[in-house]
Amino acid sequence: MSLRTASFIIILLSTTLSWGQEDVSQDLDSLGTNRDVIRKAKKIAPDEKVKVVQKRAVDRHLRLEASLAYSFLAGGDPHVNSSVLGLDLDFHITPRWSIGARYGRFDNDLSKEGQRVVDNANAAGQTPDLRDFGKDYYLGTVTYYPLYGKINFFNVNVTQFDIYVTAGYGRINLDLSGFNNLFTAGGGAGFWITDRISARFEIRYQTYMDIVGNNQERRIDQTVFTGKLGFLL
Amino acid sequence: MIRSLHYLILCFFMIGLPTQGWSAANFWDKAHNALTASKTDQALGYINQLRSQKDHGVPKDDLNLLEARAYYQAGNYKMALKLYRRISKKSDLWLSSVEERAWAKIRMGQINRAIADTKTLLSPVFVDIASPETFFLSSYVAHKVCDFQTVFHITDAFKKRNKVRIQHLEKMAKMESTRGIVTFLNDLTAKGLEPSLNPQVMDVFPKNFLKDEQFLMFAKIAKGKNVNQLIDIRKRLAKLAKSELVHYKDVIKKLHLIEGDSIQRLYMDPSLLGKRANIKNHSTRGKYDLVFPFEEKDVWVDEFDHLQVRAQSCPEIKYKGA
C-alpha cells in the first residue's frame, strides 16, 4: 500500500468517525487539519479570473447635458487677462461619443503689462493698441470618452468618472476684427456626482487670429482651464 | 406564452379554494404553509391572490423572496432568479436572496455566476455575518471547478468564524453558564431587554433569538426578577441553541464530505494530471458596461453583486482518438 493511499484512508476514517460524535466542536476541529493536502491542493489551483462589471451610474444614450462653465485663459495677448462665462450643451449619443455646442462670453481686464502700456500711451497722448480682445464665441465640438474610472471619497461615496478628449471649431467675436475662425482641442475629466449632475475639469488649447498694429494679423494661442457644472436633462 | 399558461393553470386551481374574504395575512400564512408542505402550485396561487390585493401591506421584498422560493421549489429557476434579483440591496433579506439565487444558478449549470455570488457573500464586509450555508455553498462551487485550494481556505475561514460561537452554543444548550450568558441575564433583570443587547451577545447567541416569540415573551417580564428565576429564558435559549447546533452539524457534515472528496481526488484522481479546458468567455457585460479589477481583500461598497467570474473547469486527460 502506497503512502498516499494510506494517508487518504487515515484521513477518510478520521473524517467518518468524527460524524458519529455528538460534540459539534470536535466535528469542527476535524475539518481541514491536514496541511500536506492543502499544499497539494495549491498545485492545481484553477485559473480563476474575477472582475467587477458595473453598469454606468448614468445612462448616456441620447441624453442632453447642459453645463454652466467658467474658464480662465492663459497665453495669447499679454496685455489682457481674460475669463469666460459659458453655456455648453452636449448631446450624448452613446456613453463614448457626444456632440456639443458652446457659447462663451469674455470678461477682460488689463494685465499689469496692459496697464503699463495704457499709462505710457496716455502720457504720450497716443491711443493704446489694445482693442482686439475677445467678446464672445460659439463653438461646435465632438467629444470622445475612451477612459473611465471611479474614486472612493473617504469611504463615503464612490463616484464614477470619464476621461475625455474634445475637438471643436467655431467663431470668435473680436472687438476690432469682428468674427474670426476659432479652433480648439483638449481633454478633461467628468465626475458623476449624482445620476443627473456632473462636475467637469477641462484643459484645452484654442487658437484664432486677431489684428495688431497696422492691420497686421497675429495668431493667438491660448490654454483654457475650465470648470463646469452639468445637468443631464 | 408558457408563463400565461402557467397563470391560467394557477387561476383554474384557485377556483376550487375558499379564498373569498381572506385578508392579506391569511394569504401570506397560507402561502407559507403551502410552501413548507411543498405544495408549490398552491403557494404560487396564494401569492398571486395576495399580489392582486391593492393594499396587501406585505413588504415587496418579503413577497418577492417568498415567490422566488416557490418558483425555486417548483424547479422554475429562471423565474426564481428574476424574483431574487428584485430584492433590494437595502433589505435585510438581500444576503439570503444572493445565497439562494446562487443555488438556482448552480441548478441551471451557471457555476461561474454562482462563484461570483459567493465572492460577494464572503467578501470582507459580509464574512462576519455569513451563515454556515454560505460557507458550504462557497465550498461546493469551488469543489465543482476543482479549486481545492479555495475549498480548504473556506474550511479554515469557517472554523475561525464559528469556533467560539459553537462553543458558546454548546454550553448554552447544556444550560451551562458562560460569561456572555451571565452578563446578559444580569443586564436583562436590571435594565430590560434592549439595553442588554450588545455585539458580543448578538454574536454568540442563537441566530434570530430576538425574533423568537417565546423568548420575547419571557424577556418582557424579566426586568426586576432574580437571575435564578429566569429558568424559562435559559430553557428557551438552550432549545434554540440545540436547534442551531443540529444545523451546524449538518453543514459540518457536508463540508467534511466536500473535504473528503477533495482529498480523494487530490491523491487518487488521475484526471487532475491533465489539463483544464479553455472555456469561452461567458461574459454577459454590455458594450458600455464598466469593468474593473477585483481585489479580494478590498472590495468597494459599490462592487457587491457586480462580480463576474471566469474559472476554468476541472482538468481532464485527453486520450488520442477519444
Q: What is the pLDDT of residues B8-33, one digit of tens each?
A: 555 555 544 555 566 777 888 888 88
CA-CA distance, A172 to B247, in Å (whole number)?
A: 76
- Measured CA to CA, the distance from residue A119 to residue A128 in angstroms comes to 9
CB contact under 8 A, B288 and A42: no
- Give Rg (Cα) of chain B: 24
Query: Which chain B residues have a beta carbon less than 8 Å from that of A49?
Result: 309-311
Residue B170 has pLDDT above 60, yes or no: yes
Which residue type sits at A186? Answer: G
Q: Which residue in B315, B318, B317 sits closest to B148, CA to CA?
A: B315
Report in angstroms the alpha-carbon separations of A154 from A159, A162, A197, A198: 11, 20, 20, 19
CB contact under 8 A, A44 and B146: yes
* 3-class DSSP string for B181-216: HHHHHHHHHHHCHHHHCCHHHHHHCCCCHHHCHHHH
CA angle B108, B111, B113 (to 5 degrees): 95
From the CA of A162, how many Å to the nearest CA of chain B?
A: 11
- What is the reported pLDDT for B199? 76
- The x, y and z cell numbers of residue B103, run together, are 443555488
Residue B119, SS3 per DSSP: helix
Query: In the block, which residue shows the cell 492691420?
Result: A215
Cell reading at B275: 489539463
For residue B227, the SS3 value is helix
pLDDT at A20: 45
In this complex, do B170 and A47 lie within 8 Å of one another by their Cβ atoms?
no
DSSP labels, chain A: --HHHHHHHHHHHHHHHHHT-S-HHHHHHTTT--HHHHHHHHTT----EEEEEE--SS--SSEEEEEEEEEEEEES-TTEEEEEEEEEEEEESSSSEEEEEEEEEEEEEE-HHHHHHHHHHHHHT---S----EEEEEEEEEEEEEEEEEEEETTTEEEEEEEEEEEEEEEEEETTTEEEEEEEEEEEEEEESSSSEEEEEEEEEEEEEEEETTTEEEEEEEEEEEEEEEEE-
Query: What is the Cα Rg of chain A in Å?
Result: 33
Give pLDDT < 70 ranges for chain A: 1-22
Q: What is the pLDDT of residue B10?
A: 52
- Tracing cell 424574483 back to the chain, one arrives at B83
Task: Please give the Cα distance from A86 to A226 (Å, whole number).
Answer: 10
A47 to B302: CB separation less than 8 angstroms, yes or no: no
Q: What is the mean pLDDT of chain B?
A: 82
Q: Return d(Cα A67, Cα A136) in angstroms, integer.
A: 17
CB contact under 8 A, A31 and B256: yes
Q: Number of Cβ pairs closer than 8 Å across A and B?
A: 162
Task: Tell me, rounded to whole angstroms, the distance of Cα A61 from its chain centroid.
Answer: 18
CB contact under 8 A, B288 and A94: yes
Residue B111 is predicted with a pLDDT of 87
ipTM computed for the complex: 0.71
A101's grid cell? 455646442
What's the CA gap between A188 and B179, in Å, rounded? 60
Contact list in A for residue B266 (CB cut-off 8 A) is 37, 40-41, 44
Residues forming a β-bridge with A51: B293, B308
pLDDT on residue A9? 54
B166 close to A (CB below 8 A): yes
This prediction's pTM = 0.74
Report chain B residues whose CB lies below 8 A from the CB of A163: none
3-state secondary structure string, A76-111? CCCCEEEEEEEEEEEEECCCCEEEEEEEEEEEEEEC
Tens-digit pLDDT profile for residues B174-229: 888 877 888 888 888 888 877 777 777 777 888 888 888 888 888 888 777 777 77
Nearest residue on chain A to B284, alpha-carbon basis: A53
- Residues of chain A in contact with residue B248, where contact means CB-CB under 8 angstroms, are 24, 28
For residue range B57-75, list pLDDT tens digits in order: 888 899 999 999 999 999 9
Residue of chain A minimizing CA distance to B290? A54
Q: How far apart are CA B196 and CA B184, in angstroms?
A: 6
Spatial separation of the C-alpha atoms in residues B252 and A31, rounded to whole Å: 8
- Give residue B241's identity as a one-letter amino acid code: A
d(CA A58, CA A175): 41
Phi, psi of B89 (to 5 degrees): -65, -20
Q: Answer yes or no: do B300 and A152 touch at CB < 8 A.
A: yes
Q: Which residue of A has its CA nearest to B301?
A: A158
SS3 of residue B276 by DSSP: strand
